[in-house]
Amino acid sequence: MKKIIYADGQSLTIEDVVQVARYGAEVRLAESAKPGILESRAVVERLVEAGKPIYGINTGFGSLQNVGIKKDDLETLQRNLIVADAVGIGKAFDTEVARAIMLLRVNALAKGFSGIRIEVIETFVEMLNKGVTPQIREKGSVGSSGDLCPLAHMVLVPMGLGEAEYKGKIMDGKSAMEAAGIPLITLKAKEGLALINGTCAMMGNAVLTVYDAMVIEKSADIIASFTIDAMEGVIDAYDPRVHNARPQKGQIAVAANIRKMLEGSRLVTKQGEQRVQEAYSFRCTPQIHGGSRPAIAYVREVIEIEINSATDNPLVFPGENEAIISGGNFHGEPVAIAMDTLGIAVAEFASVSERRIERMVNPDLSRLPAFLVKNPGLDCGFMVPQYAAAALVSENKVLAHPASVDSIPTCANQEDHVSMGTIAARKAREIVKHVQSVLGIELLCAAQAADFRDNTKLGKGTKAAYKTIRKEVTFMESDRVIYPDMDKATELIASKALVNAVEKAVGILD
DSSP state of 409: -
Rounded-to-integer distance, Cα 71 and Cα 51, Å: 8
Question: What gap in Å lies between CA 259 and CA 115, rounded to an integer?
Answer: 54
CA-based nearest residue to 197, from 97, 54, 326, 300? 326
Q: Is there a cis peptide before residue 314, judged by omega within 30 degrees of 0?
A: yes
Q: Is 238 a catalytic residue?
A: no
- Of 183, 173, 168, 123, give the one whose Cα is nearest residue 153: 173
The amino acid at 295: A
Phi, psi of 68 (to 5 degrees): -75, 145
Dihedral sign for Cα atoms in the order 423, 429, 430, 434 = positive
Q: Which of 6, 23, 55, 280 is catalytic?
A: 55
Quick check: 99 and 128 in contact, CB under 8 A?
yes
Residue 342: is it exposed, middle or buried by C-beta count within 10 angstroms (0-12/13-18/19+)? buried
**CA–CA distance from 85 to each of 61, 107, 339, 398, 429 (Å)?**
11, 22, 24, 30, 24
- Residues 54, 58, 61, 62, Cα dihedral to 10°: -30
Cβ neighbours of 213 (radius 10 Å)? 24
Per DSSP (E only), the strands in 135-290 are: 137-139, 163-166, 169-172
What angle (nearest 5°) sits at the alpha carbon of residue 219, between those of residues 454 and 430? Answer: 130
Between the CA of residue 194 and those of 1, 110, 190, 345, 410, what are the distances in Å? 33, 11, 6, 34, 20
Contact 300, 14 (CB under 8 A): yes
User: What distance in Å separates the CA atoms of residue 436 and residue 457, rounded to the nearest whole number?
Assistant: 27
Distances in Å between the Cα of 108 and the Cα atoms of 2, 11, 136, 194, 195 are 23, 11, 18, 10, 9
CA distance 216 to 350: 10
* Catalytic residue ranges: 55
